Amino acid sequence: MRVLADIWYSGIQLLYLPPYSPDFNPIELAFSSIKAHLRTKNSEVTCVMTGKCEDALATRLLLHDAIFTVTPEKAYSWFQHCGYVR
Protein backbone atom coordinates (compact mmCIF):
# COMPACT_ATOMS: atom_id res chain seq x y z
CA MET A 1 0.00 0.00 0.00
CA ARG A 2 2.89 2.36 0.66
CA VAL A 3 3.95 2.18 -2.98
CA LEU A 4 0.46 3.14 -4.12
CA ALA A 5 0.42 6.04 -1.66
CA ASP A 6 3.81 7.27 -2.91
CA ILE A 7 2.59 7.05 -6.49
CA TRP A 8 -0.56 8.99 -5.64
CA TYR A 9 1.36 11.70 -3.75
CA SER A 10 3.75 12.05 -6.69
CA GLY A 11 0.85 12.89 -8.98
CA ILE A 12 1.35 9.85 -11.15
CA GLN A 13 -1.76 8.38 -12.73
CA LEU A 14 -1.90 4.59 -12.79
CA LEU A 15 -3.55 2.94 -15.76
CA TYR A 16 -4.72 -0.57 -15.04
CA LEU A 17 -4.90 -2.84 -18.04
CA PRO A 18 -6.73 -6.11 -18.41
CA PRO A 19 -4.59 -9.24 -17.83
CA TYR A 20 -4.19 -9.59 -21.58
CA SER A 21 -5.36 -7.17 -24.19
CA PRO A 22 -4.17 -7.45 -27.79
CA ASP A 23 -5.24 -3.83 -28.31
CA PHE A 24 -2.42 -2.73 -25.98
CA ASN A 25 0.17 -5.23 -27.17
CA PRO A 26 2.48 -4.09 -30.01
CA ILE A 27 3.71 -7.65 -30.61
CA GLU A 28 0.27 -8.52 -31.99
CA LEU A 29 0.76 -5.87 -34.68
CA ALA A 30 4.21 -7.28 -35.45
CA PHE A 31 2.76 -10.78 -35.81
CA SER A 32 0.10 -9.35 -38.11
CA SER A 33 2.79 -7.81 -40.32
CA ILE A 34 4.70 -11.08 -40.50
CA LYS A 35 1.58 -13.09 -41.31
CA ALA A 36 0.52 -10.59 -43.98
CA HIS A 37 3.90 -10.97 -45.67
CA LEU A 38 3.66 -14.75 -45.53
CA ARG A 39 0.19 -14.59 -47.12
CA THR A 40 1.73 -12.82 -50.13
CA LYS A 41 4.09 -15.79 -50.50
CA ASN A 42 1.31 -18.37 -50.39
CA SER A 43 2.78 -20.90 -52.83
CA GLU A 44 6.19 -20.86 -51.11
CA VAL A 45 4.63 -21.19 -47.66
CA THR A 46 2.42 -24.06 -48.82
CA CYS A 47 5.43 -25.86 -50.27
CA VAL A 48 7.41 -25.48 -47.04
CA MET A 49 4.51 -26.33 -44.71
CA THR A 50 3.49 -29.48 -46.59
CA GLY A 51 7.06 -30.77 -46.69
CA LYS A 52 7.16 -30.83 -50.48
CA CYS A 53 10.14 -28.47 -50.38
CA GLU A 54 13.18 -29.90 -48.68
CA ASP A 55 15.22 -26.74 -49.16
CA ALA A 56 16.14 -25.55 -45.65
CA LEU A 57 17.70 -22.38 -47.05
CA ALA A 58 14.46 -21.43 -48.80
CA THR A 59 12.59 -21.88 -45.53
CA ARG A 60 15.08 -19.70 -43.67
CA LEU A 61 14.96 -17.00 -46.34
CA LEU A 62 11.17 -17.02 -46.31
CA LEU A 63 11.08 -16.53 -42.54
CA HIS A 64 13.93 -14.01 -42.65
CA ASP A 65 12.08 -11.85 -45.16
CA ALA A 66 8.87 -12.09 -43.15
CA ILE A 67 10.53 -11.15 -39.87
CA PHE A 68 12.31 -8.19 -41.43
CA THR A 69 8.99 -6.66 -42.44
CA VAL A 70 9.05 -5.46 -38.83
CA THR A 71 11.11 -2.30 -39.18
CA PRO A 72 12.13 0.07 -36.38
CA GLU A 73 9.77 2.68 -37.84
CA LYS A 74 6.84 0.27 -37.82
CA ALA A 75 7.65 -0.88 -34.28
CA TYR A 76 7.74 2.72 -33.07
CA SER A 77 4.39 3.46 -34.71
CA TRP A 78 2.86 0.35 -33.11
CA PHE A 79 4.06 1.47 -29.68
CA GLN A 80 2.49 4.86 -30.40
CA HIS A 81 -0.75 3.22 -31.53
CA CYS A 82 -0.90 1.17 -28.32
CA GLY A 83 -0.34 4.28 -26.20
CA TYR A 84 3.16 3.55 -24.92
CA VAL A 85 4.80 6.46 -26.78
CA ARG A 86 3.44 9.91 -27.45
Q: State the 10-residue block means of pLDDT for the chain, 86 residues long.
A: 89 82 91 95 86 82 94 96 88
8 assigned to some structural domain? no
32 assigned to some structural domain? yes
Residue 80 has a pLDDT of 94
What is the domain extent for residue 73?
17-81
Residue 50 has a pLDDT of 85
77 assigned to some structural domain? yes
State the Cα–Cα distance between residues 7 and 78, nearest whole angstrom. 27
State the Cα–Cα distance between residues 26 and 81, nearest whole angstrom. 8
Pure H helices in 13-86: 26-40, 42-50, 56-67, 72-81
pTM of the model: 0.70
Q: How many domains is the chain built from? A: 1
7 assigned to some structural domain? no
5 assigned to some structural domain? no
Residue 65 has a pLDDT of 94
